[in-house]
């Protein structure tokens, strides 16, 4: 599966946008980085250690993971191999494993250990208890 590119709509407030309507929480003062736009996708507690959750950032479906060391990672939600739900995958410190056919993707660069296409990764961070993803 190829990753489609998108042209985000202009934000209503420069540098600040909200993500999924499910939370509808704005992040005051969240500046969009030059490479993309910042979206609040949920609360930090929505993603427990060792797990992933699917969110929408603007019009991009993303999967956000919190590894057991507390670090956050965000990827495309659908597996590059055949669209599997990556948020349901298993993780360790080095890779994310898709639940459908068990292809593994390296956190370091998104490459597949099994020959599938690369995984699109997105910057993600916590801001005042909220998850912010740049797409």
Rounded to 10 degrees, the C-alpha dihedral 11/128/125/64 comes to: -90
103 sits near ligand FES (criterion: CB under 6 A) = yes
Q: What angle do CA 83, 85, 91 make, to 5 degrees?
A: 120
How far apart are alpha carbons 128 and 15 in whole angstroms? 16
- Pick between residue 22 and residue 82 the one whose CB is nearest to ligand FES: 82
Query: Of 26, 54, 95, 100, which lies in the binding site for ligand FES, with binding defined by CB under 6 A?
Result: 100
- Pick between residue 68 and residue 101 the one whose CB is nearest to ligand FES: 101
The CB-of-41 to ligand FES minimum distance in angstroms stands at 22
Query: Of 15, 31, 49, 82, which lies in the binding site for ligand FES, with binding defined by CB under 6 A?
Result: 82
How far apart are alpha carbons 135 and 116 in whole angstroms? 22
Q: Which residues bind ligand FES (CB under 6 A)?
A: 79, 81-84, 98, 100-101, 103
């Amino acid at each position: 599966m190829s990753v489609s590119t998108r042209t985000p709509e202009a934000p209503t407030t420069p540098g600040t946008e909200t993500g999924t309507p499910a939370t509808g929480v704005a992040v005051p003062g969240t500046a969009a980085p030059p490479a993309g736009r910042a979206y609040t996708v949920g609360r930090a507690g929505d993603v427990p250690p060792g797990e992933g959750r699917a969110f929408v950032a603007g019009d991009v479906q993303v999967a956000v993971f919190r590894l057991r060391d507390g670090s956050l990672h965000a990827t495309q939600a659908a597996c590059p191999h055949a669209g599997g739900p990556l948020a349901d995958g298993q993780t360790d410190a080095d890779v994310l494993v898709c639940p459908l056919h068990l292809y593994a993707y390296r956190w370091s660069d998104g490459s597949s250990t099994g020959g599938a296409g690369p995984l699109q990764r997105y910057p993600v961070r916590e801001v005042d208890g909220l998850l912010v993803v740049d797409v």
